[in-house]
Amino acid sequence: MNDASQSPQQALVPQGSDVRPLSAAQLEVRRIVRHDMADPRPADAFRDLRTQLLSRANGASVVTLVAPVSRGSGGSYVALNLAAALAFDETRSAVLIDCNLRSPVLHERLGVEPASGGLVDYLEGRVGALREIVYATGVPRLYLVPAGARREASGDLLGSARMRALLDSLRGDSTGVTVVLDSAAVASAPDARILSDLAELSVLVAGYGRDTPDAVRESCGVMDRARLAGVVFNRVP
* CATH number of the domain enclosing 41: 3.40.50.300
Residues 51-69 have a mean pLDDT of 92
Q: Are 137 and 83 in contact (CB under 8 A)?
A: no
Q: Report pTM.
A: 0.91
Average pLDDT over residues 65-87: 97
Report how far apart the first and last C-alpha atoms of the chain are (Å, whole number). Answer: 46
pLDDT class for 146, splitting at 50, 70, 90?
very high
- Is pLDDT at 20 greater than 90 in this prediction? no
- Number of structural domains in the chain: 1
Residue-number span of the structural domain to which 172 is assigned: 3-234
Share of the chain above pLDDT 90, in %: 74
Report the pLDDT value the prediction gives residue 11, as an integer from 0 to 100: 47
In DSSP terms, 14 is beta-bridged to none
Express each pLDDT in 175-193 by its tens digit: 789 999 999 999 888 999 9
Residue 4 has pLDDT above 70, yes or no: no
Question: Does pLDDT of 28 surpass 60?
Answer: yes
Alpha-carbon distance 75 to 102, whole Å? 14
